[in-house]
Chain A
Amino acid sequence: MGQNTAKLNAETSLDSVSLWGITRKRLLRRKSAVMGMIILGMLILVALTAHWLAPYDPTKSMLDVPDYPGKIEKRLPPCVHAFGCPESEPQHLMGLDGNIRDEFSRLLYGARISLVIGFATVSFSILIGTVLGALAGYFGGWVDNTIMRVMDVVLAFPSLLLAIAIVTVLGPGLINALLAIGIVSIPAYARVVRGSVLSVREMDYVSATRSLGGNTYEILFRRILPNALTPLIVQGTLGIASAILETAALSFLGLGAQHPTPEWGSMLGQERNQVFTAPHLVFYPGLAIMLTVLAFNLLGDGLRDALDPRLAHVS
């Protein structure tokens, strides 16, 4: 007996014998992944409760708030009562933006938009990418070649520039930005799925299903695709991170979220010339983007390590 056996026993105890159990245990052991999950948890909480937490309407200027007691001036620095701001001034945790709106409220509502956009974009790409990758991997031949060459063409362009071009064609707007970034991200998922499909296509349990009379789609969906699930999850989590970053970049350039939607990237873009006179308006949205993207990156990294069988022996 000894340490290793004890560990073995712990890992194979009944309640953690499933893949998810093992993954969860491995994930929780990585401190960075835990940190990512905590940040993500807070973000989701903020997104869900924004309308309770936000002290002001994110699209309403203080000019339109009846009987507003405070000073009305655009881009006022933060006023926090706990840090010495006089009680006579209304509290604005992150100050006022260029349209004299409460920045903190806008930041809270922005969490909703970023999370929704991130998930939506990646879902869109995964859906289409899976179909394409599965078709390419399963049927092979000219189907494979055509699909993969089209993927290569998309990958040949730097992703941000291609997204800019697509948005310019479709017209600016959050939905169009979603489509653009989604289209640009499809090849990554197609490749992942194709790889998985190729690796199990010829395996015994697949030929068994085939010989039992299963049709193509049954084989694909019930036997082969579940194999692709784990790499897709990893890729998807990291994909959400880059989708949020690219949406922010597009909005920063004026091509994504339209006014007065409180999206972090467009908030940053609107105020970027004021970085020296109103740094709070540039700092906080950027920090929010960074924390969100970081959370997904850490989580994705953790998932990849937890799900990677090759690293199993390295504890």
Chain B
Amino acid sequence: MTTYILRRLLLSIPVIIGILFATFALARLIPSDPCRAMLGEKATDEVCDQFLKRHGLDQPIPVQFAVYMGEIFKGDFGNSFRFSMPVTEILSQRLPITIELSLAALSISLLVGIPLGIISAVRHNSWVDVLTMLWANIGVSMPVFWLGLMLAYFFSLTLKGTPFQLPPSGRLSPGLIPDPFFEVWNMSLTEGTAIYLTAEFISRMNILNSILSGDWKVFKDAAQHMILPAVALSTIPMALIARMSRSSMLEVLGQDYIRTARAKGLKQRTVVIRHALRNALLPIVTVVGLSLGGLLGGAVLTETVFNLAGVGRILYEAITARDYGIVQAFTVVIAVFFVALNLIVDISYAYLDPRIRLN
């Protein structure tokens, strides 16, 4: 087991270095200068010369890369041009929003996708099977920006005045400022410490924060704002999860021990839930890892349509605005996160299924 882990870790290192290099190269290859992108139409040449000098952009490329690598290892991602704030601060402000949205979307797709897949498998080839698979497929075939617009229109305009009305954008109703949970609990944390930063990070996820601080009003408000974007975004992994549950369940149902259980006279339901489910859900773990990439891509579009200030949207804005600091830092964090995630998924899969690590 340890050799497997070590081997996977070692293999990840060149990947991470490759990611860093690719990100830097891409960011620098993007044509045109960030000065006018930021300072706008009224910037003169002198102002831009100053700007480049200030941000070290007049140095030759290899020097810039060396500086960049050095800063990465120190954990310093530099400042964003547009916001004049350290990129890590922007990251810690925006990442909770995207994580909350992605987790909500993922939960919905798991809660809906897995039962769909199982029902399809159990009633294989019946009209239930066909319809549910069709439904899941339609979900993944819809452009998420289109679905988002249609949902926003229906729930905020068509249903206006009904108890089912939902807000079309934003995270909270105007003027509602939630208190961070650690202040409600009267925890005295010193600013700048890792614990404080972690707590602040958690507190930015409104739903989690309101649960922790027991604020029912904020919880309700935050949840109402979260429903539409989460539902729109959930269509992306849902089909994959439904499909995977279905085929995995089908495979398990064909196994001998299931036939034995049936032969023993157990009810279909018991067979499915107690014997088949556990093993059928194992591949879901891999699917969750695979679908996070699609979630983040979809997050860019969903965040734009629903006006959420998350990582996906600011990354897209930064790319088009040539905000190198944000582009590099966010891409690196996201990519490293995926590598780490895949590592965890592979290791836990190997842990759960001995055949893999012995391979």
Which A residues contact B (CB, under 8 angstroms)?
Answer: 31-32, 35, 149-150, 152-153, 155-161, 164-166, 168-169, 171, 241, 245, 248-249, 252-253, 265, 268, 272, 275-276, 279, 282-283, 286, 289-291, 293-294, 297-298, 301, 310-311, 313-315
Contact = CB atoms under 8 A, between A and B. Distances in A.
A165 B251 contact: no
Contact of B296 (A161, A166, A168, A310): A161
Contacts of A294: 137-138, 141
B335 A164 contact: no
22 contacts: A156-B19, A157-B19, A157-B22, A158-B293, A158-B297, A158-B338, A159-B294, A161-B334, A241-B141, A252-B143, A265-B143, A268-B146, A272-B145, A276-B153, A282-B149, A286-B142, A290-B138, A290-B143, A293-B141, A297-B141, A297-B239, A313-B254
B22 A153 contact: yes
Given A245-B143, A276-B153, A165 B30 contact: yes
Nearest to A295: B141
A152 B342 CA distance: 10
B222 to A, nearest CB: 25
A166 B22 CA distance: 11
Contacts of B140: 293, 297
- Size bracket, chain B contacts: 35 or more
Q: Which 3 A-B pairs have the closest CB atoms?
A: A160-B297, A286-B146, A153-B18
Interface string B1-38: 00000000001001100110010001001110000000
A164 B316 contact: yes
Contacts of A311: 247, 250
A311 B252 CA distance: 11
Contacts of A290: 138, 141-143, 146
Nearest to A265: B143
B243 A161 contact: no
Contact of A149 (B15, B243, B254, B338): B15
B326 interface: no
A152 B297 contact: no
A314 B250 contact: yes
Contact of A31 (B14, B130, B297): B130
B165 interface: no
B18 to A, nearest CB: 4
Nearest to A29: B125
A179 to B, nearest CB: 14
B228 interface: no
Contacts of A171: 31
Nearest to A241: B141
B239 to A, nearest CB: 8
A234 to B, nearest CB: 13
A158 B338 CA distance: 9
Contact of A298 (B137, B335, B336): B137
Contacts of A169: 26, 29-31
Interface in B28-84: 29-31
B160 interface: no
Given A31-B130, A157-B334, A275-B153, 16 more contacts: A156-B19, A156-B338, A160-B297, A161-B296, A169-B26, A249-B301, A252-B143, A290-B141, A290-B146, A293-B140, A294-B138, A297-B239, A298-B134, A298-B137, A301-B243, A314-B254
